[in-house]
Amino acid sequence: MIHATLWLDREGSVVGFEISGHAGYAPRGRDIVCAAVSALAQATVLGLEEFLSRKPAVEMRKGRLRCQLAPDLSPRDRERAGAILGTLRLGLQAIKESYSPYIKIEIRRWNGCGE
């Protein structure tokens, strides 16, 4: 199962995410759920890196992608990040609607360390 965690700040804005695991919908290399989530997550990181003045902290390992916004973004960057991360959230929810046994989405409040 894919585990997606979205971290929210005090205002309810997404400030980071972590996605890990394998969906198990089909064998590796043919799993459309994994492919969809992976493409969505990687596009999110690319968008954040391209459109924000401060790049997010990104950690990528086999089967895991973690991304965290810089804490002191400008209002303009926060707005841009909100649109990009909001799109991630909508995309993950849409995938979950069609493939709920294969993906779990958890929403957590950000406590400063991502745990």
Q: Domain boundaries in the chain?
A: 2-109
Q: How confident is the model at residue 113 (pLDDT cuts 50, 70, 90)?
A: low
Write out the DSSP string of 27-79.
STTS-HHHHHHHHHHHHHHHHHHHHSSSPPEEEEETTEEEEE--TT--HHHHH
User: How confident is the model over 42-80, as pLDDT tens digits?
Assistant: 999 999 999 999 999 999 998 899 999 998 999 999 999
Query: pTM for the whole thing?
Result: 0.92
The CATH class, in words, for 2-109 is alpha beta
